[in-house]
Every structure is written in structure tokens, then in C-alpha cells.
Structure 1
């Protein structure tokens, strides 16, 4: 059998000529992977992969019982070693298909630009075109960007399964495909390209997909930093410059510099909610690593700039400012004196080196008077001086090259690189504050006080200048750790300014006292002083109950003068974070989405009444079950007044690499955030509340969906046993994919399980249950109560962006679900009666949800209106489903071995490794639903 079978693409994908290059790339990569497997593992493994692929297609397409039996027979006879090779083959094909898709997206974007097509939705160019159609003046757009803050925030969560080593090889493959697309190769060059691809795929095959040791927090910090190298350090400044140029073109004026409205944030190294490995020492090291990367980048760019600016003093006239800078250079050699800009940049380079040394605590004597820069602003001021001089003697084109990028980078990243958030659970803050009070006033019993009594005590303490903590009191380890991390934040502020750690986030925020406790702990570190705060205090409302209460909580909080003074000290801006993952786990997808939407409406009104600017921080995940889905549509679906030029969004776990490892894809995702924020602020209707009948209909749907979801997950006897038996949740905990534990407590209770592995587990078994369950029941109940209800739902889909986005996301996850595959996972549940009872309910709800969704959306099949995603899924199912089938057989072997009286550790290690590989491959195949 030839390697052509490995390069097969299903006939259904042959519909579009413009996608032919994608099909060619997939075939090419599949052929090369097939050749690699055959050469490395032998003909038998090579042919076995193809047999499994074809049998899996039959089972997926027809739910063929004969195919099911064949799969069980073939896979049941695999040795662990062969199973691992089978899994690796299908996993790598998923990764290679992803690469081909990303390259094709770039190819299509370039084709549209070359053809002079209208700007594509989600681009800044399209947003500006829409602003022009709406006759918005350039001054209004400038005002928007002057006050905007748009911030994607990287988080480390236990679903990131990509290793940096494999990611680097994949980037190499993407670069080779992209290069082949852009340059017409000679036969010899094409042969060389093919050889390079073969080498890259062979290296990938011989590189371990999984880590053998568990990640530390500092490993996660290192991984997070890689995205600055891949994308952020180059693309964020480039995008800011592009926006400036578009504004200049609109009003025909000079290119005026905008504030750095696009800023990258991070939780990695500062998020200690449920992660005991994040300590004050770790926070300090995180800040240090970020700082060192920023300084190295500036040093590299400054040196490259000096190499470029070889302008001779006898040919150009430099400004007095540059002359003054030149005069301070310790190097007054005749060569440099003839090249003024190189001489000036030697000063900048010297001061950068001394700044880096000073920040490391290595500052020595300064004999020449060139001390370290006191701030990144001072560094940028020198660069600005050089830029103005270049422009003054007609070298604007030089000033707008590398120098402009470097100036923008200095404004965006400072000396701190990333804005690190602190995050901790409110219960930890409460225990810490209680211990501090008890030490100074025994019998206070803070934790037993009612909410109003707590508020009174905390407000009184905030008004005093004295500290609560004493170096002479022996506190518990938890309290010592909490005080230490705030002290570490204060040291970071002293060294690098407030931008280094701008936010203190309180998880599980439920009441006013949660906010005041955080303020009090910040006061202990000197970060709240004399009625002013050095960073934002941000509540995170996570559960359904908390979302319903967030408006009244913030209303009460703003009425407290001591807290309002802190808000005013932050420019009158209060950030509120909304949790998508936990609210989804708590109440299901429909109710979570609706309660988040209502919470935003309530917050907009409360903030308007108090004259406070609202900035929402959306704790969205990669998968739809965690609030994921297309960012552009999600931002535009916000209620009026909820965006207002200010938005922060988490980029969680496994989604970061798919968005930001490729610079062009990364630029596109950054553009989406900017353009959507602009449109939602300036081009959306200003009404805060949509039509009353829509609100009432959505409330009815939510109530029914909530009851259905809670009825299954929390009220069905034995459901926890079904979940742990039919998913890979136990095995996910063995993966070395994050520093954070999968559960907050050592229990099987779903309430204690983190929302992220909860959703991840359902995705692995191809049910995606948290992202749709309850919808079908809710629609049926709605139709039963309302004659003409279907027409009303269709009107909501047509006219209400929130409802349209909700259904669009369900359309995506339902299309990636597979009852046929899921039925095999259900068989892992040993209790046959429990298995039948629960899976039959899930099946019925799935079928009802699909039917009602299609009817409302006016489709005959899932993804009928999304050809791009439909094509993507069709490309990957033949290689995704087999991973599920192998995973099931390995789970059987693993659990049987564990249950044996004398389990074999050697066998179990191999089987567990195979399971872990399938988790990686399935996640890659599902992409943003994994």
C-alpha cells in the first residue's frame, strides 16, 4: 500500500477551488508523516494506522456495529508499545493539519489583500471602514484610542498539553510551508524544501510529545515568555503603529503617537488561587525573568539600530538634543564622532546595560556620569529625541523603521514586560485578616461576624495609619505567605513602577467585605496608603449566585467613602472580573451565558449611577464550555455600555499556543480584540437593555435549562460515578501539563473539581456536555408554553447578537461532538443500569438540542452556515476519532490493571503513557473545544 492513503482527504472537502492549496498541504504533510512512520516503525504499524482510520470513518459516518466490533477487536489486540505508535501517528497528523490550516488562513488573507478585496471582518481596516461609513470624525476615533485599554491576559491552566520543543518544530514546518507559498521554487529548490520538511517531521516524530516531569510555575513562566519572542514584542508595536497611520490618513495630519492602549497581561507567577506553588519568591523570580527579557530585547534592538544608522555627520545636520546626547558618550573616538547617531546610541546602550545591572542589584561605580535610566519613560525619551532629529533633516522614513518599533515597544512593555496580576481566593484573605485581628485584639472572632459588622471593622481599620501585622507575632504559615506576597509586590513596584503588578484579583468574591479585606492586606504592604491604592482591587464573581448578587455588592461598595476614595485614586475606574468557567460548571451553558449578560446590564447601571467607569475582565476559556468561542462575536454581543473602550480577556491554557505561536495568526487575533472593542464602543447601539420580550424569553429558557442541567449533574444519584467512570478525569491528573492541581480538595465531588478539567474531560470523550446540555429541554418547554414561540426564537436569533452568538457556539461544539464515540466511553462505566439511565438521558437531550438549534437557525445540518469550520472538522475527523477509540481501549487496560490484585507497574506505565498521548492528540484535534 502506498503512502497515498496517508494523504487522503475526504471527497466532501473537494468543494472549493480556493481550498485546493490547503488540501495539497494536508496531503503533502500526511504523505511525509506516513513515510516517516513506515521508515521508523515498520510496514506493519504503517498499514495498521490506515486500517484503523478507515474503520473509524465507517463507524463515525454510519454508527456501524460491524465497524464497532472490528475496532474493538483490532485495538484490543494491540500491545502497549504498538498502541503508543498508533496514537503518535494520529496525534501528529492532527498537529500537522492544524499547521496547514493556519498557513492557509494566512494565504487567504494575503490573497484578499493582493486582490484589493474589502477588508475582512475583525480587521482594524474593516473597523475603520465601518467608522467612516458611520461618519465618525477622526477626532472621535483618536479620543477612543486615547482612553482605551485592551488587554489579553495569559494564564497557566492544567489543559495546556503542548511542549515548547514540539511547538518549535511545528513552527519550523509552518515557516517552510509559508515560504513555499510565497516563492516560486525551481525544481532543485522544491526538492530541497521537501527534504527540509522531511527532516522537520522526522525530528518531530523523534521528539517526545509529553513531559516526563511535572511543570513547575517557573517552567510555565518560561513558556509564557516564549510568546513574546514569537509574537508580542514585534506585533504589538506594529499594530499600534498601523492604527496611528490609519488615523493620520483619515485627517491628513502628521502621525500623532497614541497611548499604549494594547497591553499584554499575565497570571503566570501571580495566580495563587488553589496553587500552593506560587509564593513570594516565585513572584519575585517571575518579575525578574520578565524584566530580563525586556532589557535583552531593548539591548538587541538598540545595537541593531546603531548598525543601521551609519549616517555621516558631514552629510546630515543633527538636532541640539542629539548633540547633547553625543557629548555625554564615554566613547569619543574619531570614527564614532563622524557618525552622530551611532555615538548617541552608544550612550543609550551604555545606560541600558547599567539599568539592567542596577535592577539586578549589581550596580557599580559610575565614573563617566552615565547612570542607569530611572524609568522606561526616560529610555523612550532618548529614543524620541533621536527620532525627532531624523525627521528634522528629512529622514522620516528612517525614523519610522526599527526606531519607531522600538519606541512603541518601550511604551508598551516598559522595563517590566508583562503586567502580572495577583489572584487569591477570598476565603484565604478572610482567614489571614481574622488572624491579624485576633493577634492585636484577642476575642475579635472576625470570621464569626456578620457582613455589616465585618464592613464596619474593616472600614475603621482602613482609616488608620498603623499596621496590623507585627514582626513579633508568630503567625500561621498561610498568613506569613500572604503577607510575604504583598510585600514582594511592593518591592516590584518600588523597582519597576505600578505597571508591573497593576491588579489584585479576589476569587470567589461574594460580598463587600471580600474587597475591603484585600484593601487591608494591601495596606499592610504599603500598597494602599492615605486613601490611595497603588493597584486595582478587582472582584471575581464566579458562581451563578455571585453573578446575580454582583450589582448590589458593587452598589454597596461604592457607598463606602473609604473604598470610593481608592477608586477615585485609580482614575475613577473600577474593574470587575466575571467568571465563565465556574458559572458554566455551576449552572450550565445557557444559564451561565444569560446570568453573565444580566450581570453586565446590572453593573452598567450601578456604575452609571455612581459615576464610576466600568472595566470588565472576562474570564473566558478556550473551549465554549468555559466561555470560549470567537472573541470578535463575543465582544460585539456584549450589552450596550459594557465595553466602552475598556476590556480585558483571559487567554487560557491550550488556546494560547494556537493563537500566539505564529506571528501572523497572533497579529490577526490582536487585531480582532482591537477592532471588536472599537466597534462595540462606537458603532453598536447605545441601548443598555434589549427588547423586553427578548429578555423575558431568555429568562424562561434559562430557568428550564438550569433545572435540566442541575437535575442531571447535581441531583441524579450516581452521576459522579458516571462522570469519573466515563471520562479521563482521573488520568488527566497524571499529566505533567501544569503546576496547578486539578481539584481544590482531595475528593471526587464535582463541586470541588476545577471547572477547567471538568470541561476538558467532557471534550475528551466527545460529548462537550457543559456547552449545550439543557438547551433542547429549555426550547421544548418554551414552545409548550407559548404559541408562536418558534417565531419568537427565530427573531431573537436574527436580531439579538447575544442570542445569535450563544447558538453559534453551540452549533460549533455540537458538530464536534459524537454520540457514537461517546457511547463507547459510556461502556467504561461498570454499573450497567447507571450507564443506561444516564447515557440515554444525554442522548435524548443531544438529539433534541440539535433539532431545536437547527430549526431556530434555519439550517438543515450543523455548521451549514460556517463553511470554514465545517471544512476544518471534516479534515480532522478521520484522524481524531481513532484517537478516541485507542484511548478507550487503553483506559480499559489501565483500569483493569489497577483493579488487579497484583498490578504490573511496567505494563501500567506504558498504558498510562499511551493514554496521556491520546489526551494530547484529541486536544490538538479539537482545537478550541479541547
Structure 2
């Protein structure tokens, strides 16, 4: 059987049965959307949508040809094609929502309490047994960093519309609802879906960095603030009986960071003023959240002094407060007589309000001062025997203050090393440019943030494309130029991205030890140092397989360097949401790290659609955080480190062979003459900038890309996902595997897949990327570039990679052993096909450009951008 025939047979036979509950939700939402479409555009519009839907499903079963679908799509006027594209895009939003609800229901059903959930904190502690649990928990740190990389194609208005539908769907499925209530909820569902349909899917204006800050705040407001203490509670319960009635055994181990409003590498829209305003926005949100939580707890503490007397310390604090603010405290005493704990918490809430409003005589000077007041209340409750009140909701509030402070997330600044070098040269010559003035203004802003919110609010300064220790020293020198002896406290973080830079990283770190600024920081922080590894650019340069293996080698080398120099190293993983940028399940990625490179600490970027996929719903966010934290604990144990080290040593030669051959194959395509121009023709790369996804430019420089260096990694991956090729997620691996097989057969590769977590993670991620690739549709896109040699090269590598991955994993079809993921892909694939056909129509006509009028070009561009938006919603991890 040919590769093409085998692929078609697999597509038609690989069907995972959809659970009844999920099927019912998909059918309900689909029926309501169909009703909305018919009401808006008539039965004929709905009929056209149904024709295309049935045709793409039939095509997957081999009953309709791709040529027939192409002809059908070509018949419609562009305006009709636009409406059909909107219909399928709305469907994806609803299908994603139905699947999210099913995941939540499944989690609740599985969580019986009889046995710990797999990959939960309870299971991790149980599995660890006596293996350094206390030590690991003491040093545990999970540090997600939110970034504004533009892979979230949905408008904020669309996201909020989906959230409203989500609330109605949950209410509709509630078993407590009677028939009348259910009917009303169905009506509300229909109303909200109608609103979604009538909401533009495309942004009409370009968003700025502060828009991105406000968008990220939604995840904090709606999920993170509430979920973080629940994760701590899970760990505390796992560590010992009696949680909520004793002093916690779990420390607050999560800290959030953000690049949104701080990352200026390649983004001229991020200025010193933007960075300052970003912190102000963050502070506003966290102080409102703390104020609301404190008020809520205060209202519940109706404990009378007769049954729960205040401690001497609390009575003295209330007396001092009354002396300083007699009217305020007197009013609280009048409202809550003989309820000292309630009075005190109401006073604390008033101080938080003053902190937000900058009321200097009442405001807190620091989060530590607030924590002192909360602990005064907690200790008083304990002394009075009210331990449940002391270690219940009040403990959650204490954890929230310890986690978020008054700044919510540490804002990190990032800038390119060349900008710093140019700034120093200009300052030495006495001719600073506007860009250099901006660099100095940024450092002064960091100083202002530290004065107002503390050092933890903004101290990390990431230097992208770090090539030598001089690139790190430059930041300290610029800080001296900006503020002299009053320079802010800086933790300068090198970012290693290219293959050569990853290999040179240990040498750069050795040079950093000679920098006075680094020496001072190491002396002050217990010899802690942070290093960032860039997954995006390394994968774009080397290909997915070689980049994965070289990043692992870099981790090994850095862990050894840290041990040799007595440095407590934290590796900061610049992972993307897409597989071509280091994406994939985060907990499995942690377990695949090099031995000694985790050490109870894991820092990683979270971006684009990944932020809302992981943090859009409380139950899913809590599950994700527990999975990653449990993986961090397990990956840090001597037994797992030893097992991973043994496997890595055993398969090192094989890995080097795979890396070498895969990189050679990848470069033979991407560095071939004419490849960048061809890529621009076969993908909607040129048009993606019109989607106004983010404030950062999509490419370096102007005009069509002349080399891969001109392209940023995110649009590179995003554009390939649109073509259904997903090339950055798998290209080259087939050649790497073939090189090993030709020399030593399949057995060693199969053993590596079974025994080495890194290799298993690599193949599983490639398998998922291949599953989201559609060979037939991909061939249509690739043909648009007029280079049959490139088309043949790409499809040959796809067939080879797919065949060998299946042979090594032992699967008869892609994702055979990952039922949930397989079902998710199958649920969406036919509808992604529909949008791809619509996009192909627009793209091929625009590329042909046979005398198109400006009006025709505008209409086709709208169709193209709508289809891009819809495919992104369907594939989910697109960038």
C-alpha cells in the first residue's frame, strides 16, 4: 500500500468513540448555532454550511474527492464563503467549550477520594514516601511567566462571549434544574450564541502592550487568585492529616512572572512608560482582589468575644488603630460589637483600600506589613481555640499575599544584547540616541518600581542572544549610567537560543562569575543564578529533533557546571504553546529534563492561547498546576534522576546520530535557495500581520523574508499550522531515525522510547504534530509556491517520519494510545478541513492576482483572515 493510500485508510478507520455526555453537548450547541445561522442568513445559508460539513466528513471516509470540495467552495460568492467561514469558526469555539466541560466532569467523577488522582500532589507525596519529601517541599518553586507572544487569535470580546456561554451550559447540565429552569437556560444559551455569531471575530484596531496586560489580568481575576491557595491546600493535606486545624506544612511555592509590558526585544511599542503602567495595572488588580477577600472573610468572623476572646496582641493592635483612626475604628466597633476579630479584619481591609488609593496615613508600606496584621489575627484565633477559622480561609488569604504581594507578578524586562552594546558605544562617544535614552529610562523605571512595590516586583533583566559574559556586564554598566550608586537591584538573566550559544553556555556562566554585579547578587541570595533556554529559535534553526536533544545536552552541561561552582541554578524554559516551539504537556516535559537540572525548581513561559487553555477555568487550572508540581517533585528525586541519567548515557550515541541526521535534513530544506520566498507563497505568512494578534511586529525588518533569520519563531510556526503541514513540529526526525535504523535496526530506538523520558516525549510530541497534519490538504498549499522539488521533499519527509514513528512506538495509527487527545483531534479535523478549503480558495486567488480589483482583494483578505482565525481555534496550539 502506498503512503498516500495508507494515510487515507488510517483517516477513515481511526475513530475514537465520543462519550455520550460530550456528544450531547456538542449536538446541543451545534443545533443552537444552526438555528442562529438560519435566523440570520436564511435556510439556504445553513444548507450551504451543512453541504460543506457533510462533504469534508465524507472526504475523510474516502467517499468525496478533494477536487469536488474545491469546486463546491469555488461556486460560492466571496460574501457567502465569509459567512460559512464564520459559521465554522463559531462552531470551534463551541466545540472547545463542550470539551472543556467534559474534562471538568471527568475530573470530578475520577476524584472519588478513595485513591489519589494520577499526577496529583497527593499521588506524588505517596509515591515519594520517605525520599527527601520535607527537603523537596522546603525548596519547591513553580514559576510560570505569562508572555504576550501573539498566538491568541481570539478577540477579548469573543473570549468573554464564550465564557458567558460556558456559564449557561454548566447551568443547563445541572441535575438540580427543573423543566422550566432548563427551558429558560436553553433560551439564554441561544441568546448568547446569537451574540457570539454577531460579534466580529477579527480585531478592527491593532492592540497595544497595555491591552495585552489587561487581557492577561482576566486569567488572574477569574482563576489564579482563587486557585493558588487550593493547590497549597492539596499539598498540605497530602503532607499530613488535619489540614485546616493546624499550622500548614506546605509553604507557598508558586510565584508568577510576566513579560507583558516588560519584553521590549523587537517590540518598539514597549517603552519605559508602558512598563511603569503595566505594574500599576497589575497592582490595581491584586489590591482589589485582596481587599475583596479580606472583606469577605471579615464578614464571616462573627465570633463573639465571650466565646473567642482576642489575644492581648490583637487588643493592643485594635487600641492603637483606634487611637490613630478613631472615627474609622469606632464605626467598625459599632457595626460589629463584641466581635474583635471581625473588627480587626475590617480595619485591615480599609488599609488595603488606602494602599490602592495611595492614602498615605492608612496605607500599608509593604506586603510584609499586611502579613503581620493577618498573622496577628491568626495567632489570636489559635490562642482562643478557633483553629478552623485560623487555618481555613484566613490561611488562604495569607497564602495569597505571600504569593502575589502588592504587584501580582514580577515584571521581567527583556532586551536584545546588541541594543545594550550599541547603547554603551553611544554613551562612550557622548552621542546617545533616542533608543539609548529609552534603555536608560527603562532602568530608572525598574528603580521606581522597586521603591514603590519592593525588589521582588521587578528585578530580573533577561538578555536575549547572550553570546558572552560582556553581554551581561553591559546591563550593570548601563544601570550605573542610569542611576549611579542608586542603581536598582538587578538579577541579569542570560538567554541562550542558538545551537552555538547553547553549547557555549557554561563558558559564558564562568565569565559571569567575574562580574562584580553577579558576585554581589550571589553573595546576597545564597548563590542562586538563573539561566534561560530558548526553545523557539533553536527549533527554528536546527529543527525539532536536533533542538530537543541539544537543549537536553545544554541542561546536562549547565547542571554539571552549577555543581562544580556551588551555584543553585534555576533553568528558565522559554517554551511555546506549539510543538514546534517546545510545547506539549508540561508535566511530561518536566519529567524529561536532564538529571540535576530541576532540583525542585521549574520556571517556564506560558503564552497566547495556552494561558486561557490552562487557566481559563478553575478546575482545569488547579489540575494543571498540580500535574506540573507533582512532576517537579518527582523529577527532583535521586531515584528518578539516576534512572534518567542511566537511560541518557545508554542512548547518547543514538541521540547524537538522530540529532545530526535530522538537522542535516532540516537545513537542506530551510537553507535551500528560494525557500523563504516559497514559504511566503504557500502560507498566509504575509497576511498574519493583518490579524492584529499582538503589539509585537511579526518579523524583523520590512518586505518578504530573505532568510529564516528574518522570521520570528511564532509567525513561522503559526503559518505552518495554517497550511496543515505543521512542519516545525516534525520535519527532519524521519531522516534522523532512518540513519539509526540503517546502521543498527529498530531495537535500540524502541528501547529508548520505552526507557528514556526525553526520547519518549520527543516522539509523542511529533506524533501529535503529525496527527494534526493533513497530507492531502497540505499538498494543496505546498503547490501554491511553484516549486515541485520542495513539495516532493516535504511530503517524502512526512511519509518517512510518520512511518518510522509508528514502527518505533508500535502503534497501528497516530495517537493510538492517547484516547482523549485522539478524540479531540478527530472531533475537530473535518471542520478544520472545511476552513482550510475556504482559506485555500482565498489564498490561491490572492497569490494568482489575475487583475483583482482593490475591493475584490479586500473581500478575499477578509475570508482569508476569518479562516486563519477559525483554524487557530480548531487546532488550538498553533503558535
TM range (shorter): over 0.9
* Corresponding residue to 2:65 among 64, 67, 89: 67
Q: CA deviation at 1:510?
A: 1.1
Residues 428-477 of structure 1 show CA distances to partners (whole Å, capped at 9, x for unaligned) of: 011111222233xxxxxxxxxxxxxxxxxxxxxxxxxxxxxxxxxx5210
1:506 aligns with 2:449: no
Q: Distance in 2 between matches of 1:731 and 1:119?
A: 48
1:865 aligns with 2:817: yes
Aligned to 1:876: 828
Unmatched segments (≥5 aa) in structure 1:
1-9, 440-473
Aligned to 1:681: 636
Q: CA deviation at 1:619?
A: 0.4
Aligned to 1:245: 237
Check whether the contact 1:248–1:256 (CA below 8 A) recurs between aligned residues: no
Q: Distance in 1 between matches of 2:226 and 2:92?
A: 29
Q: Distance in 2 between matches of 1:618 and 1:418?
A: 17
Check whether the contact 1:215–1:736 (CA below 8 A) recurs between aligned residues: yes
Deviates more, 1:809-818 or 1:239-248: 239-248
The number of residue pairs the alignment matches comes to 857
Check whether the contact 1:237–1:412 (CA below 8 A) recurs between aligned residues: no
Aligned to 1:121: 118
The alpha-carbon distance between structure 1 residues 15 and 58, as it changes in their structure 2 partners (threshold 3 A), is: closer
Aligned to 2:296: 304
Q: Distance in 1 between matches of 2:419 and 2:15?
A: 57
1:659 aligns with 2:614: yes
Q: CA deviation at 1:15?
A: 5.7
Q: CA deviation at 1:597?
A: 0.3
The alpha-carbon distance between structure 1 residues 746 and 689, as it changes in their structure 2 partners (threshold 3 A), is: farther
* Corresponding residue to 1:632 among 581, 587, 596: 587
Q: CA deviation at 1:555?
A: 2.6
Aligned to 1:614: 569
The alpha-carbon distance between structure 1 residues 729 and 83, as it changes in their structure 2 partners (threshold 3 A), is: same
Q: CA deviation at 1:93?
A: 1.2
Aligned to 1:462: none
Q: Secondary structure at the match of 1:928?
A: coil
Aligned to 2:109: 111
Q: Distance in 1 between matches of 2:753 and 2:479?
A: 46
1:376 aligns with 2:376: no
Check whether the contact 1:727–1:764 (CA below 8 A) recurs between aligned residues: yes
Structure 1 length normalisation: TM-score? 0.89
Q: Distance in 1 between matches of 2:485 and 2:494?
A: 17
Q: Secondary structure at the match of 1:313?
A: coil
Residues 781-837 of structure 1 show CA distances to partners (whole Å, capped at 9, x for unaligned) of: 222223xx31111111111000000000001010110110111112322x3xx1x11
Deviates more, 1:24-33 or 1:345-354: 345-354
Q: CA deviation at 1:717?
A: 2.3
* Corresponding residue to 2:732 among 754, 767, 774: 774
Q: Distance in 2 between matches of 1:293 and 1:772?
A: 41
The alpha-carbon distance between structure 1 residues 252 and 151, as it changes in their structure 2 partners (threshold 3 A), is: closer
1:905 aligns with 2:835: no
* Corresponding residue to 1:761 among 690, 708, 719: 719
Deviates more, 1:566-575 or 1:880-889: 566-575
Q: Distance in 1 between matches of 2:127 and 2:424?
A: 51
Q: Secondary structure at the match of 1:312?
A: coil
Check whether the contact 2:158–2:201 (CA below 8 A) recurs between aligned residues: yes
* Corresponding residue to 1:695 among 642, 649, 652: 652
1:325-344 map, 5 Å: 325-327=317-319, 328-329=321-322, 330=326, 331-333=329-331, 334-344=334-344
1:285-684 map, 5 Å: 285-327=277-319, 328-329=321-322, 330=326, 331-333=329-331, 334-358=334-358, 363=360, 366=361, 371-439=362-430, 475-526=432-483, 534-559=489-514, 563-682=518-637, 684=640
Check whether the contact 1:490–1:527 (CA below 8 A) recurs between aligned residues: no
Residues 724-768 of structure 1 show CA distances to partners (whole Å, capped at 9, x for unaligned) of: 110010010111110000002124122111011001110110111
Q: Secondary structure at the match of 2:820?
A: helix
Aligned to 1:5: none
Q: Distance in 2 between matches of 1:271 and 1:15?
A: 42
Aligned to 2:837: 885
Residues 368-426 of structure 1 show CA distances to partners (whole Å, capped at 9, x for unaligned) of: xxx32111111121111112222332322223443222211111111111111100000
Check whether the contact 1:641–1:688 (CA below 8 A) recurs between aligned residues: no
1:689-728 map, 5 Å: 690-714=647-671, 716-728=672-684
Check whether the contact 1:380–1:407 (CA below 8 A) recurs between aligned residues: yes
1:796 aligns with 2:752: yes
Q: CA deviation at 1:550?
A: 1.0
Q: CA deviation at 1:579?
A: 0.5
1:810 aligns with 2:759: no
Residues 675-724 of structure 1 show CA distances to partners (whole Å, capped at 9, x for unaligned) of: 1111111252346564434101100111000000000011x222122201
Q: CA deviation at 1:12?
A: 7.3
Q: CA deviation at 1:624?
A: 0.3
1:23-422 map, 5 Å: 23-62=23-62, 67-114=65-112, 116=113, 118-132=115-129, 135-136=130-131, 140-249=132-241, 254-256=246-248, 258-327=250-319, 328-329=321-322, 330=326, 331-333=329-331, 334-358=334-358, 363=360, 366=361, 371-422=362-413
Q: Distance in 2 between matches of 1:325 and 1:295?
A: 22
Q: Distance in 1 between matches of 2:135 and 2:243?
A: 14
**Cα RMSD for the two superposed structures:** 2.2
Q: Secondary structure at the match of 2:262?
A: coil
Q: Distance in 2 between matches of 1:192 and 1:545?
A: 62
Unmatched segments (≥5 aa) in structure 2:
1-10
Q: Distance in 2 between matches of 1:527 and 1:848?
A: 60
The alpha-carbon distance between structure 1 residues 438 and 148, as it changes in their structure 2 partners (threshold 3 A), is: farther
Q: CA deviation at 1:264?
A: 1.2
Q: Distance in 2 between matches of 1:679 and 1:921?
A: 39
Q: Secondary structure at the match of 2:95?
A: helix
Q: Secondary structure at the match of 1:150?
A: strand
Q: CA deviation at 1:189?
A: 2.4
Q: Distance in 2 between matches of 1:20 and 1:239?
A: 31
The alpha-carbon distance between structure 1 residues 843 and 14, as it changes in their structure 2 partners (threshold 3 A), is: closer
Aligned to 2:7: none
Aligned to 1:926: 875
Q: Distance in 2 between matches of 1:109 and 1:262?
A: 23
The alpha-carbon distance between structure 1 residues 123 and 12, as it changes in their structure 2 partners (threshold 3 A), is: farther
